[in-house]
């Protein structure tokens, strides 16, 4: 009986410890659970486009889990899950003239275009939540919702915004040195 109680006590302590780590998500846990890849690219484009590097990392994680060759069922490609038509427009806005869809597999180009687009959305809408809604659901949808004053009707988009905001906090906590080096 004493052995059983000891096993149960150890199990309860370990379970409580795991629950505490899961709930508080300390920096070491963030680094284990949420990878940061391409930090030089992320940091550089965040600086260039005046973005919070943790926000940029959070969008990339949510979109692709830092998989440079990610593909979505809607045809979005790469780290920041850009649609080829959107990327082609960004390329033209940023001085490119020979856009190829395969460019979106290049982490540097994908993050550059995605950073430009995120900065564009932040400038257009003036706040992070609306810009994230547009990144997820498209500008036409957001413009329609705003005109109607209806808020965000898509549960997926509401969840996306909350998730990216949470990830931003985690990336800031877990990767402060990598994301904000020499700023």
Which residue out of 39, 63, 108, 156 is catalytically annotated? 63
Q: How far apart are CA 108 and CA 112, in angstroms?
A: 6
For the question of residue 39 being annotated catalytic, the response is no
How far CA 127 is from CA of 48, 77, 82, 117, in Å, comes to: 19, 25, 21, 14
What radius of gyration do the chain's Cα atoms show?
Answer: 20
Q: Which structure tokens are listed for 100?
A: 């190829």
In sequence order, what DSSP letters do the residues of the chain get, joined into one string? -HHHHHHHHHHHHHHHHHHHHHHH--HHHHHHHS----HHHHHHHHHHTT--HHHHHHHHHHHHTT-TT-B-TT--BTTTTB-HHHHHHHHHHTT-----GGGGGSHHHHHHHHHHHHHHHHHHHSSHHHHHHHHHH-HHHHHHHHHHT-----HHHHHHHHHHHHHHHHHHHHSHHHHSTT-
Give catalytic residues, as residue numbers.
63
């Amino acid at each position: 009986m004493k052995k059983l109680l000891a096993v149960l006590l150890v199990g309860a302590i370990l379970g409580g410890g795991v629950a505490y780590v899961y709930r508080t998500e300390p920096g070491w846990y963030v680094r284990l659970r949420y990878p940061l890849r391409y930090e030089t690219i992320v940091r550089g484009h965040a600086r260039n486009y005046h973005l919070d590097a943790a926000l940029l990392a959070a969008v990339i994680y949510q979109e692709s889990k830092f998989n440079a060759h990610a593909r979505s069922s809607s045809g979005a490609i790469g780290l920041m899950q850009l649609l080829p038509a959107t990327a082609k427009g960004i390329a033209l806005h940023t001085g490119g003239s020979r856009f190829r869809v395969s460019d979106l597999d290049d982490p540097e180009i994908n993050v550059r275009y995605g950073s430009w687009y995120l900065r564009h959305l932040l400038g257009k809408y003036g706040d992070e939540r609306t810009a994230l809604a547009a990144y997820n659901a498209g500008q036409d949808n957001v413009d329609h919702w705003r005109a109607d004053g209806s808020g965000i009707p898509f549960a997926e988009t509401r969840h996306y915004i909350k998730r990216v905001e949470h990830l931003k906090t985690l990336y800031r906590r877990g990767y402060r040195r990598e994301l904000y080096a020499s700023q």
